[in-house]
Chains A and B, each alone.
Chain A
Amino acid sequence: MKGEGFEKTLKKNDVLQENCKICMHRNPVIYDELAADLLDEQKDIDRYEDVRKIEDMATENKWKYFEDLLSPCIRCYACRNACPLCYCPTCFVDESKPQWVGKSTDPVDIRTFHFLRAYHCAGRCTDCGACERACPMGIKVRLFTKKLEMDCLELYGWEAGLSLDERPPLDTYRPNDPEDFIK
């Protein structure tokens, strides 16, 4: 990197986006033409280290963690608007008849937006990182979507974006779907 009066060498891994560092599909999965040669895919990557760290926290620590994570949110909705998955004509936070969510900086409303956004992307999010990149406040919003991505992989053996024909797990039913949650 060169500029007026300075020169600096950066390590690629230090400036890569977090999601790119742990990307398992550096080669396009679906394409008509390939513009360059295929690359070696990364191996021995633990995609979910950060999610497991949070899962291992005690309940109150977890709560505190998410509280701190979302405290800088200004509700600009850049994460939502940058997301390639969001396709609703009117987002639930923008509905006015009726209005589902409060408009203030009330933490409950802010959490409602983030949690619902994440759940809405479950089984569809490919961890492209557009949300995190767009956030002006530097919130690691991917942590929410990643947990659901991990669940989809562990529960249904599902990775989003690999097939055009298969229906995503939350959109379909298979007799051998896990049913531990039905008591």
Chain B
Amino acid sequence: MKYINIDKKNWAGGLENLYGNYRLFGPAKNNKHHIFKELGKGELPDLNYLNTLPSPKSIAFPQSETMFEYSLDENKKGHHILKEINKDYSPRALIGIRPCDAASFLLVKRNFDTPEYKDPYWLRAYEATIFIGLACSSPYSTCFCTSAGCGPFHEDGLDLLLVDEGKNFIAKILTPRGEKFIKSAGWETEADPTVAEKIIKNMKIKAEEKIASFVSTDQLKNKSTTRLYDATFWDDIAFACINCGTCTYVCPTCWCFDIQDEVSRNSGLRMRNWDSCMYPLFTIHGTGYNPRNTKVQRVRQRFMHKLKYYVDRYNDGIQCVGCGRCIRLCPVNIDIRKVCDIMNNYGSSSRLET
């Protein structure tokens, strides 16, 4: 494994070299919170942050994305034919993404990149993106990444991991794309791998110790889906829910969308927009019948999807990286950690699980 020492004095200069080769995205403070935004020339990512309020999923999966345009003007050639919109899929770099958020892209990939269906928009954007992670040293009290298959120094989904050492970053190169990125920045000072590894290992242990909350997920797979579905605890969990879509919109792993046509006079756009299983409109049929007509059904769907259906389908843990955004931002303090534990422990004292 190769490690590079980046003196912070050379940080801005390196980014300057990268500008032009990559579109650079990084955290920036917007009013009170941080968001990921495209950085202009000379603009530096603000790495003095815990995490962005909205997740960076929109880098590959924007809240609204126009896919096609068309004309309804019969005098025009090619009217009523959907034409794909040209988009900028030139290389882009996400600088300072947290390991949990980088890992979330791999979870979302499961939905957008399957043997049967390949989502061209998400995949092109994803493939154009290089992930420059920033290891976490001080988490939120709501972070539970270490028990959600992830961690503050987790490397899955990253091309490069930056570890902040005060005066310099240690950059751990994880992929050839990461190496190319480092080269085009001009950061060349190689670090002694044994020393770097030791430093990172120690920092990692300290960081992991700071993650103070956990979920237990070991029993989820063994639980009967129908029994969990029919469990009586859902009424209690959903009781306070106001059915807004905050949890789903800030979640890095929620991937649902809705396709809409918007027509103005003779020209139209076909777009897709984030959708949320918290909304009644999410499932309403053309007949007016709604199979998930009540709040409790919708709340159950969100948690069953993340913590049961996904677990059963992919056999690789829960559909959650433990970033804690939904816990921090829920207006009524619904806590996925508690829900997960309730599900995991449900009926464990009895074989009947009722």
Contact = CB atoms under 8 A, between A and B. Distances in A.
Given A104-B262, A105-B64, A137-B53, A94 B281 contact: yes
Given A105-B63, A106-B64, A136-B250, A81 B53 contact: no
A121 interface: no
Contacts of B249: 74-76, 136
B121 interface: no
B244 interface: yes
Q: Residue among A76, A90, A134, A138 with the most chain B CB within 10 A?
A: A76
Interface in A68-87: 72, 74-78, 80-82
B32 A134 contact: no
Interface in B277-329: 279-281, 284, 288, 329
Contact of B284 (A96, A102, A136): A96
A96 B258 CA distance: 13
Contact of B54 (A74, A94, A103, A104): A74
B192 to A, nearest CB: 34
A93 B53 CA distance: 25
Given A74-B54, A76-B276, A105-B64, A138 B32 contact: yes
Given A76-B276, A138-B33, A103 B246 contact: no
B31 A138 contact: yes
Contacts, number: 72
A133 interface: yes
Contacts of B33: 137-138
B54 A81 contact: no
Contact of B279 (A74, A94, A105, A106): A94
A76 B260 contact: no
B245 interface: yes
Interface residues of B, number: 30
A105 B262 CA distance: 12
Nearest to B328: A136
Given A94-B280, A138-B33, A77 B245 contact: yes
B32 A96 contact: no
Interface string B226-258: 000000000000000011111011100000001
29 contacts: A72-B31, A74-B54, A74-B246, A76-B246, A76-B276, A78-B242, A78-B246, A80-B244, A81-B242, A82-B242, A82-B244, A82-B331, A94-B281, A96-B284, A103-B260, A103-B273, A104-B63, A104-B273, A105-B64, A105-B273, A106-B64, A133-B331, A134-B246, A136-B53, A136-B250, A136-B331, A137-B33, A137-B53, A138-B32
Interface of B: 30-33, 35, 53-54, 63-64, 242-246, 248-250, 258, 260, 262, 271, 273, 276, 279-281, 284, 288, 329, 331
